């Protein structure tokens, strides 16, 4: 972690420019070399962000590096290129694991920042995995396997980061505090967007419904926690989840 951060700190000024150029080329429909600058930034995010969250004070310029690499990850998740978005999943899982397992060692301002980054990434990924407008016009055509895999990956990500990961759950299967914060943030964001569609008498975006239904396991775990603790914040989150139905 530390070695990767020191290398990234030196290389970042040049690497970030190359990465932005590659993302621009990708957005213009050009073939993307995911093993080039974009792949390097993905590796940096996976190695550096977890380390910097916990040990950032040991490296000069750590906070700036954390924010720059994290924002690059947000750009990946908003890319129209499926291959670019695919490079965000492993870093997101790594960041979430660090957030959950090292929660009490991470400064409060860093917690708030990285949770917001995770929410931005997850919502962007959800909105980008839509079917093409004419996807169902020819029912005999073969399905787009890459797209289907991506959609399943997004559901797995939502489920895992929002408290459905059995390995990261607390004793008794309870939702860890950072996972609850993510679940609560997702619930509010998705609820607001889905209810806006309802109020305008239009069908809700399929991508958001697809993402929302992935939260069934975290909501089930949260309901059990409510039964035990009667926590007002848990109850409020569950109430918001039911408003959409």
Q: Which of 131, 27, 35 is nearest to 78 (CA)?
A: 27
**Per-residue pLDDT reduced to its tens digit, 52-105:** 998 876 777 888 999 999 999 999 999 999 899 999 999 999 999 999 999 999
Contact 151, 210 (CB under 8 A): yes
49, 53, 58, 64: CA torsion to nearest 10: 60
SS3 per-residue string spanning the chain: CHHHHHHHHHHHHHHHHHHHHHHHHHHCCCCCCCCCHHHHHHHHHHHHHHHHHHHHHHCCCHHHHHHHHHHHHHHHHCCCCHHHHHCCHHHHHHHHHHHHHCHHHCCHHHHHHHHHHHHHHHHHHHHHCCCCCCCCCCCCCCCCHHHHHHHHHHHHHHHHHHHHCCCCCCHHHCCCHHHHHHHHHHHHHHHHHHHHHHHCCCCCCHHHHHHHHHHHHHHHHHHHHHHHHCCHHHHHHHHHHHHCC
User: What is the reported pTM?
Assistant: 0.90
Q: Write down the pLDDT at residue 51.
A: 93
Instruction: For residue 152, name the pLDDT band (cuts at 50, 70, 90).
Output: very high
Q: Which residues contact 226 (CB under 8 A, 6 or more apart)?
A: 234, 235, 238
pLDDT of residue 186: 93
Domain layout of the chain by residue ranges: 1-107, 129-245
pLDDT of res. 224: 85
Place of tokens 């239009």: 202
Average pLDDT of 207-236? 86
Residue 205 · residue 127 · CB < 8 Å? yes
Instruction: Answer yes or no: is pLDDT of 144 > 70.
Output: yes
Give residue 1's pLDDT band: very low, low, confident or very high (50, 70, 90). Answer: confident
Please provide the average confidence, as pLDDT, over all residues in the chain: 86
Asked whether residue 170 carries a pLDDT value surpassing 70, the answer given is no
């Amino acid at each position: 972690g530390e070695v990767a951060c020191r290398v990234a700190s030196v290389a970042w000024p040049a690497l970030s420019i190359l990465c932005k150029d590659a993302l621009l080329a990708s957005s213009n429909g050009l073939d993307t070399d995911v093993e080039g600058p974009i792949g390097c930034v993905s590796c940096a995010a996976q190695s550096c962000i977890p380390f910097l969250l916990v040990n950032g004070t040991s490296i000069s310029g750590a906070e700036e590096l954390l924010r720059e690499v994290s924002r690059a990850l947000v750009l990946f998740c908003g890319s129209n290129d499926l291959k670019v978005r695919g490079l965000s999943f492993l870093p997101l899982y790594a960041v979430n694991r660090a957030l959950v397992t090292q929660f009490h060692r991470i400064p409060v301002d860093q917690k708030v920042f990285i949770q917001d980054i995770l929410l931005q990434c997850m919502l962007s990924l959800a909105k980008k995995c839509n079917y093409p407008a004419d996807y169902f016009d020819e029912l005999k055509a073969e399905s787009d396997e890459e797209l289907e895999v991506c959609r399943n990956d997004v559901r797995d990500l939502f489920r895992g980061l929002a408290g459905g990961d059995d390995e990261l759950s607390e004793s008794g299967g309870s939702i860890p505090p950072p996972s609850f914060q993510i679940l609560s943030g997702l619930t509010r964001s998705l609820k607001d967007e889905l209810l806006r569609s309802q109020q305008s008498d239009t069908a809700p975006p399929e991508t958001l419904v697809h993402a929302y239904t992935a939260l069934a396991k975290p909501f089930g775990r949260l309901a059990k926690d409510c039964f035990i603790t009667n926590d007002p914040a848990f109850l409020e989150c569950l109430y918001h989840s039911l408003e959409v139905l």
